Structure 1
Amino acid sequence: MNVVHLPDAAATEAFGAKLATVLEPGDVIALSGDLGMGKTSIARGLLAALGLPGEAPSPSFAIVQPYAPPEVRLPVLHVDLYRIDDPAEIEELGLDDALYDSALLVEWPERAAGRWPEALALTLSAAPDGGRILTADLPASWKRRWPI
């Protein structure tokens, strides 16, 4: 396990921007943590660093928000599984097919437990100073790219 202290929202977005520098098609980044812990902030920082103009909306209601070149340098699907009640619903989203040429940013991945065993699993929790503690569980495909 790797632990990173993120003192504020700007640091959380900056961490996402660093992730963008090593992101590759086929990557899955699983973002876990309670509401308000910074999952979407990491996604916004990553998407901005990939070239997205403006602020990325939360995909809470759309469930999947796609981004593709020329808007960003590589295709990304920003996924929010919070409203998924039945894991069978995930099949209908076509996420596994997208991994051939896209990266996935998945918020609330516990709704699809075990689906992406090679995901970079990032868990955010509250720090005593008001910031966030990010814990990273690195699969083999990320070990050469870490620390970022």
Structure 2
Amino acid sequence: MMDGATFSPAANTANTVDAEEPKRLNRRQAAKVRTRQRVFDSAETLFKDVGFERATIRAIAKGAGMSTGAVFANFEDKTALYVAVFGHPPLTPEQGRELVVALRRSHDMLEAFADEEGVPELLASIKAALPPLPVKAAADA
């Protein structure tokens, strides 16, 4: 028989297997995780190389070495896959243009605060995210 001084269920719950290490997957679960990751990696590469519109489920599946069924078994559609990869839905061309304009304006405004803590890093991030200006537009600016 144990008393509260030697056995404390509340204190012992933090030492359960689930709390100390992640749950182990069986072979089928592990295979599903690997398949999902291969699809994810293929989609990420293809979206970066050709963009959302030109990327196809068939090309994503081919890049992963899988069937299109494997893609659809893991992701509802191309948009869901894009969201899984990038964390947001794909932008329309209009949204992309508006975002570039907003980032350029933000960059220009933040330059006045370039000596403030964290601002140089923010300016560098904005500059890295922006596409380069065309040569003619850069000369006009």
Give the structure-1-normalised TM-score: 0.24
Give the structure-2-normalised TM-score: 0.24
Query: By percentage of residues, which structure has more helix?
Result: 2
Q: Which protein has the larger Cα radius of gyration, Structure 1 or Structure 2?
A: 2
Query: By percentage of residues, which structure has more strand?
Result: 1
Structure ranking higher on relative contact order (CA contacts 8 Å, 6+ apart): 1
